[in-house]
Structure 1
Amino acid sequence: MSSTPTRDMPDYEATRRDFQWERPEFFNFATDVTDRWARERPDALALHWSDEGGRERVFTWRQVRERSLHAARFLTGQGLGKGDRVFVMMPRVPEWWFLVLGCIRAGIVFMPGTPMLTPKDVRYRLEAAGAQAVLTEASCLDRFEGLVGTDAAKCWVSVGPVPPGSPWVEYTSAEQPEAAEDTFARTRAEDPMLLYFTSGTTGMPKMVQHTQASYGLGHQVTGRYWLDLTPEDRHLTLSDTGWAKCAWGKLFGPWSQGACNVVYDFRGRFVAAAFLRMLERQRVTTFCAPPTAWRALVLQDLSRYDLSSLRHVASAGEPLNPEVIDAWKKATGLHIREGYGQTESVVVVGMFPSLEPRVGSMGKPSPGFDVSIIDDEGREVASGQEGDIAVRVKPERPVGLFDGYLQDDAANETAFRGDWYVTGDRAVKDADGYFYFVGRRDDVIKTSGYRVGPFEVESALIEHEAVAESAVVGVPDERLGQRIKAYVVLAPGFTGSSELARELQEHVKRITAPYKYPRDIEFVTDLPKTVSGKIRRTDLRALALQGPAAKD
């Protein structure tokens, strides 16, 4: 594996000390960033798309500019204008990138959604946001059943063939004449650009608004320092287009640094072996995936694949079990470097390439962010003490943080505590400034007078060869307050039994503090997850009240 040192952060502390946010009056990611690469590197690859069938489409920076100009003119030709909100639901097709850049260029606010959403999910999003238009693809048309032609939106656009006589308008990607100019009005840095819906681990999704600068400029920290990208890199982030992770690693992060965005379009379940063959074939240099994918990848015989082009790999979305990090490093020599952030932010804590990795830690605060652990009164706690992960927003709000939750005063009141934005996640910071994730505030288990983070129990379980994946929740118990219950997906070749459950319980007792072992274990074929791949522990807690289990 390559051991190229980090390009722009050889010294973490010096970079943090000297970093200053750009705060321009006007900013637009399409005109100020991607168009700049089109001028400076017009014939370099910006987008390399391939699918499961082996088809490929490649686009240079010049072509990205031309096709996004065409998209912007098409959208404004449909009567859409600056500030209008459009819902975008597409699989990983190149047109997603062209239409999104077209929206940004024209000042239209885009709202990504995953193709896994149901018609009910879609209706909620269109109505909650007051969408003016829908941009989708032919394979997703059934998700809009009962909505097309209603006042849920005034404009319905699809990439690919549309039903004859329907309200759908067909969009075809095309290049503008090379001399075409961008004639759209300039966007201010504080103008809204993007509206995300939170993944909804608890309750209905909230609307998270980002400005032109908060993501367009903020993700330069993600791409430059955490993903460590250069214009010579071929970067792939494994993500659906509806996830915030797509913005992190498939749009703003890599393209802010001029890297080629490698896109693998698969429509079914994630197949680890096929994905590894694609990494090998495409000569990917930097790669980011969620923990669910990493856990599947390390179950493969990695020696069968030529991954020598990789120089840097990362994980985000949820904490990654140390055992998975160790397995990958033994096979490839590369440490999987974690990053922490939310739909509401860019990367705010990361295991940056210049940091010495520490097992179980998600790293240190990003340049431009003052991140700490605070108590319920907004006071910073001592090293080693658990508290809320918080980002300082006063006296100056950092670029890269959301505007706030739209139409939700209660959520905003909860999220901001004194000088801090409170993430809702719990962690511990050690004396050297490394952060260690504990869990979502609502997920921390209180048992026998102790507080237990589900992640530490899950990490202990996954060390056992029989466990492919696990999720841990607390369920009511008259004697203990809460008892720890584990849902376990078994690795190939293992069968669930009461004997195996007891073996796993003893295994956890040996690996971690005895009071943290799961008193209930239930074997399942899969775990309920949000559309972004996060475990829905609220569903598991409800299931725990009625489902069978192997009990202590």
Structure 2
Amino acid sequence: MVSAAKAQVQESVAGSTSAKATTAHVDTFARDHLPARELWPDFIFTRPELQYPPRLNCVSHFLDRWVEEGRGDAPCIISPDVSYSYGELQALVNRIANALVNKFGLVSGGRVLLRSANNPMMVATYLAVIKAGGIVVATMPLLRAKELAYPIQKAQIALALCDGKLADEMDKAKEIAPALQRVAYWGTAQPDGLEALIADQSAEFAAVDTASDDLCLIAFTSGTTGDPKGTMHFHRDMLAVCDGYARNVLRARQDDRFIGSAPLAFTFGFGGVLFPMHIGASYVVLEKTSPDDLLAAIERYQATVCFTAPTAYRAMLGKLGTRNISSLRKCVSAGETLPKATFDAWQKTTGLKLMDGIGSTEMLHIFISATEDEIRPGATGKPVPGYEAKIVDEEGRDVPPGTLGRLAVRGPTGCRYLADERQRKYVHDGWNITGDTYVMDDDGYFWYQSRSDDMIVSAGYNIAGPDVEAALLSHPAVAECGVVGAPDEARGMIVKAYIVLAPGAIGDDTLVVQLQDHVKREIAPYKYPRAIEFVAQLPKTETGKLKRFALRQMAQAQAQEHA
């Protein structure tokens, strides 16, 4: 028997006109390597704004419609080197799309790897590939040849477009990834460079008539827990994250100017392009995105909406005295847990509330957050309209409010891995199991505890590393920290903290005791770090996330040395 809730979800999917659409893809490799349909999560399209037609090319919505509506002269991309109106960007995108088809032989469904730091050409190539019916595989600029070769082979990518400044590793990747047949570089001023190849192409290009459930993006995860997983997203997904989170939670305006630091190859970063283009706003694209660079650009370009990680907001706090960022009116924090100490300090200094949110590459963007007037400091928030979330135990059974468990979510987007058995682990009974440990309170707010594999079990107690990190970060001597479990003969595990000191702080035994006592005062005493190590820097991913697995490896190796 099908439950009423399940029946409603099935009805919403069956009623979605996109389910009846016929693929426009000539190259069906990606579609052929979607998970078996029974392994997909449930998709929900019950809200009016999430009703999509069977035929949809998302670039027509994000770019072409603004020109058609007479807003071609409105600002779109802004950068230190070159800026484009919507009309100018459309002309560039169309020339690239024509070159993709006429000179590179791209057919709909073909995968194109993009490799660049954040810049306008990265945006233009991204949009051009999708408009031409292709599938984007965007990669982080710091990846090495071996790391590039994996997605090239996994997704059978024949063509790459790359910033000429990153040619060395791209050329090496081509040598070890036989699927890759051609690489075109931009910014080289060479006769075979991308700019030269598009120079004689028309500025007119009709978007390929793709189905709304045709693939347009394969985003690879960072691979912190094994080989990267290719997460597959449809044209409708690009609109769904805008019609869900951006419309109902962020609530930006057409006169807003967005700015962010996350790489465009990271789906959190690409949201900084989709969200403004969804409403005809503008956005700043920066190649250099350190806290200093971000602050300078906010001031220079009068940005109003900022997207970055909690660590960046914390780093910017000490630099605000020399910058005028009064133009900011909304600040979004995602990518890692937002400590309450950072939220409080940012609000006290700027008067702005950080809008926390959790998303994932599998879900494309943020699915739990809160509008500014509903924020509860320390809580991530409630499900974004259009999504449902709950807490389940290890067997997938619902648990009552106040109970620690695994976060499960479903909505208009969801996990579909490219030919990967780990699909069975991420999706359970129609729900996406994100790998995060949460508690839901009686009011339906979700409180982040840890990544599920970051939970420290010490002498029978469950201790979330981020909980201890938040307490440590509220001490003035701590600039950054990472907390993991370290093997211990007596307790199984102990809490160990790796700490980067604030300028002027001295990492001696006295400070160790002070920090331990501070944590005992801030949170339950049993959670205090029994071991503290001062380090010059913490291991991080390219997107700025703390690599807790690397810290766990360090802790285990150190324990073995002293055994």
Fold equivalence (TM over 0.5): yes
Contact 1:476 1:483 in 2 (8 A): yes
Aligned to 2:76: 46
Aligned to 1:408: 420
The answer on 1:480 being equivalent to 2:491 is yes
- Which letter does structure 2 place at the counterpart of 1:235? F
CA pair 418-321 structure 1, distance change in 2 beyond 3 A: same
Aligned to 1:7: none
Aligned to 1:118: 144
Residue 371 of structure 1, CA deviation = 1.1
The answer on 1:342 being equivalent to 2:342 is no
SS at match of 1:147: helix
Aligned to 2:256: 233
Matched ranges for 1:18-167 at <5 A: 20-40=49-69, 41-50=71-80, 56-77=81-102, 78-148=104-174, 151-161=178-188
Residue correspondences, number: 513
Deviation per CA, 1:468-520: give whole Å up to 9, x if none: 11110012222212111111011111121122112111111111111100111
Contact 1:137 1:158 in 2 (8 A): yes
Contact 2:343 2:353 in 1 (8 A): yes
Residue 428 of structure 1, CA deviation = 0.5
Aligned to 1:374: 392
Q: Matched residues in 2 for 1:438 and 1:162: separation?
A: 51
Residue 171 of structure 1, CA deviation = 3.5
- Which letter does structure 2 place at the counterpart of 1:447? S
Aligned to 2:412: 399
Q: Matched residues in 1 for 2:137 and 2:201: separation?
A: 29
Residue 271 of structure 1, CA deviation = 4.1
Q: Matched residues in 2 for 1:163 and 1:311: separation?
A: 43
SS at match of 1:47: strand
1:383 counterpart (401, 409, 415) = 401
Contact 2:146 2:173 in 1 (8 A): no
Aligned to 2:306: 287
Q: Matched residues in 1 for 2:94 and 2:323: separation?
A: 40
CA pair 73-18 structure 1, distance change in 2 beyond 3 A: closer
Q: Name the TM-score, length of structure 1 as normaliser.
A: 0.88
Matched ranges for 1:261-300 at <5 A: 261-266=283-288, 271-300=290-319
Deviation per CA, 1:190-246: give whole Å up to 9, x if none: 111000111122112111111111123333323223332221110112211221212
Matched ranges for 1:441-460 at <5 A: 441-460=452-471
Q: Deviation above 4 Å: which 4+ runs of structure 1?
A: 16-20, 172-178
Q: Matched residues in 1 for 2:149 and 2:46: separation?
A: 46
Q: Matched residues in 1 for 2:361 and 2:334: separation?
A: 12
CA pair 281-146 structure 1, distance change in 2 beyond 3 A: closer
Aligned to 1:255: 277
Contact 2:119 2:286 in 1 (8 A): no
SS at match of 1:391: strand
Q: Matched residues in 1 for 2:548 and 2:291: separation?
A: 25
Contact 2:112 2:158 in 1 (8 A): yes
1:495 counterpart (482, 486, 506) = 506
Contact 1:317 1:340 in 2 (8 A): yes
CA pair 432-176 structure 1, distance change in 2 beyond 3 A: farther
Q: Matched residues in 2 for 1:271 and 1:74: separation?
A: 34
CA pair 359-458 structure 1, distance change in 2 beyond 3 A: same
Give ranges in structure 1 of 5+ residues lacking alignment. Answer: 1-15, 51-55, 393-397
Matched ranges for 1:174-189 at <5 A: 181-189=204-212
Bigger mean CA deviation after superposition, 26-35 or 140-149: 140-149
Residue 546 of structure 1, CA deviation = 3.2
Q: Matched residues in 2 for 1:377 and 1:252: separation?
A: 37
SS at match of 2:505: coil
